[in-house]
Amino acid sequence: MKRILFSAACCGLLSLGACNAPNNDATGNAADTKAPDVTGTATPADNGTDMANSGTPDTAMAANGPTAPHSTDAEFMQSAAHSDQNEIQLSKLALEKGVTGMAKDHANKMITDHTKSTADLKPVAQKTGVTLPTDMDAEHKAIADQMRSLSGKELEAKFMQQMLLDHQKTVNTMVAHQKMTQDATLQGFITKTLPVVQAHLAMFKQHSGSM
């Protein structure tokens, strides 16, 4: 009788162990299932990072320009001088090719205001031993070549659109670098010049679409 009861007890324990084994496996499988879910959750974030480097955001960046400061004050000043030369020389080219009306008025204003900007920047650069460029950058030399092949309304539209793009980039860069630089003289230059460039940007935003 004792043997029968002992055998029955053993069978019961084995049955209980067999019942519990799937539950442990299920729990383990559930943990395994959660791991891919965590990876899956991270995937959209990774995709978002990839999208930031995709063509669409790059296009937006091209339209809006850089939003980070230059790494050094010297780099910023050289970039600012290039920007002045870009606007001055493209404006002179537009005038040489006979732009009229609003485009002509804006070109003359660009020459006057950006010549003054460079004049204001020179003593700041000299104080720190920075040599400013006196010509357009390579990108704008190529743009000048494009403009030489245009005339009439096509030329005027190209000029106005380029001025809009350039001034947006310059505003973004000045705003960013003003927050970064520790040079009080350079901050003063940006404080004085930024409102002029912002006024140019507002003007081109208002008028470029009507060309």
Mean pLDDT of 1-20: 43
Confidence band for 68, pLDDT divided at 50, 70 and 90:
low
Q: What is the pTM of this model?
A: 0.69
- Predicted confidence at residue 211, as pLDDT, reads 65
φ/ψ of residue 44, rounded to 5: -60, -40
Q: Is the pLDDT of residue 47 over 90?
A: no
Share the mean pLDDT of the chain.
78
Q: 55-69, 70-84, 101-115, 130-144: which range is least confident on average?
A: 55-69
Q: 44-48, 132-136, 171-175: which range is least confident on average?
A: 44-48
- Predicted confidence at residue 185, as pLDDT, reads 97
Instruction: With beta carbons less than 8 A apart as the criterion, state whether 156 and 94 touch.
Output: yes
- Predicted confidence at residue 69, as pLDDT, reads 73
